[in-house]
Amino acid sequence: MAYKLKSALSLAIIWIIALQAMPVFGADDPNYLTSVGLALYKQRRYKEAGDYFWKSIQAGSIKAENWLYRGHCFYATGQTYDAVQTYKVVMATYLDSPEAAMAAGFVKRLDPLNNLQPTSKPIETAKTLPPPPSGKTLPPPPGEKTLPPPPGEKTLPPPPGEAAKPEDTLPPVKTFKEKVVVIAPKDGHPAVKKETLQTINKAIAKLPPKIQQLLDENNAAVFVVPNLIDKWPEYKTLKREDGTSMGSDLGRVVGHDIFVCQQTTDAETNTSEACSAKEIEAAFFNQCGRVLDDILKISTLPEMKRAWEQDAENVPGDRDSLKVYLKSDVGQTETCAELCAAILGGQGKNTQSMPTNFPRCYYLVKEKLKKEPPKH
């Protein structure tokens, strides 16, 4: 009896010590708030996710991901100016970090001429953050722990001691081919037609099962919009370096969300021109290529850089028509996206000539897309 009592007491002491050693995350803990923000972000509840990333920052987190994802949330909800300003915070505060590099890429894409004007009140910035030591990424606060990912990414983790509320339960996760969302038109533009949706669904069906699995596992989705201006009104006035309107693009990627347009819109006259099924499909495959490159990091590989440099120097085709693929800053990324589109079956303006013009890059991209999707 004495032996059993002694054993029970020993177990109790071990259990108490273990409990004391476990980190406690309350509703105001920065890591808990970030975890909720990421869970909401993966479910595309961007407005709510952005609020949680900001709450985490206010609660004391100095992680770069909170600022980066807050920028993504602004962009996804059509607040392009606020997104750019947030990305600039990341670039200035977290020097030489992967987050800063990604933020710089978004700033170059969204505001290439640095002339984007505010459409709302200025956002709160990183005034309370300490400067980064020696230009490096800020370290986490002492004793800071990392929360495990939400189970199944379906239910938000309630704070310890609190029961889950009905609004904390998220809908079941859909597969990639089920994640096709139609965005309503504005300013009298034509609504998305049934034929456009059929074109998108047929294009998705052409994707190899391994590619669909890869997009699935990385939370990719497709949004069909009448035109980009209906989603991002700032594009009415935003110009590229060559003076053309960004509202005339056929597609756009935000994170792993693919936006495909039914028509292009002239920003000055507010008139729309319908795209053919072939153009819509080509835009879809091109944007898929951008997402796949972001997942697999093909364009950042050293061997891709070498292949691109050799191909760019010896392009047999018309260099003027291929100038976007030959630019020193974005050439590798654009080449990779277009080659992915060619491999997937795209029929865009330059798509079919890309394997001939960039043969080394084509072989490399093709080999990378053949590989088994990474395990998560």
Q: Is the dihedral of CA 48, 53, 56, 57 positive or negative?
A: negative
Mean pLDDT of the chain: 75
Residues 163-187 have pLDDT tens digits of 444 333 334 445 777 778 888 888 7
Highest-confidence segment of 99-108, 261-270, 285-294: 285-294
pLDDT > 70? residue 358 = yes
47 or 5: which leads in pLDDT? 47
238 or 304: which leads in pLDDT? 304
Do the Cβ atoms of 41 and 175 come closer than 8 Å? no
269 or 275: which leads in pLDDT? 275
Residues 46-83 have pLDDT tens digits of 888 898 898 888 888 878 889 999 999 998 888 888 88
pLDDT bracket for residue 242 (50, 70, 90): low
The pLDDT value recorded for residue 124 is 45
CA 57, chain centre distance (Å): 20
Q: Where are the domains of the chain?
A: 25-116, 177-370
CATH node for 25-116: 1.25.40.10
- 277 Cβ contact list (under 8 Å, min separation 6): 195, 199
Return the minimum-mean-pLDDT range out of 17-31, 79-93, 327-341: 17-31
101 or 25: which leads in pLDDT? 101
pLDDT > 60? residue 306 = yes
pLDDT bracket for residue 160 (50, 70, 90): very low
pLDDT > 90? residue 310 = yes
Residues 80-136 have pLDDT tens digits of 888 888 998 888 888 878 888 888 888 888 888 887 777 544 444 443 333 333 333
Short-list 343, 195, 215, CA closest to 279: 195
**Alpha-carbon separation of residue 45 from 37, 217, 218, 251, 370 (angstroms):** 9, 18, 16, 21, 32
pLDDT > 60? residue 262 = yes
CA pair distance 158, 164, nearest whole angstrom: 5
CA pair distance 353, 342, nearest whole angstrom: 9
The pLDDT value recorded for residue 156 is 41
The pLDDT value recorded for residue 152 is 38
The pLDDT value recorded for residue 174 is 58
Percent of the chain residues past pLDDT 70, beyond the cut = 73
pLDDT bracket for residue 139 (50, 70, 90): very low
Q: DSSP code of 239?
A: B
Residue that the structure tokens 């990414």 belong to? 153
pLDDT bracket for residue 142 (50, 70, 90): very low
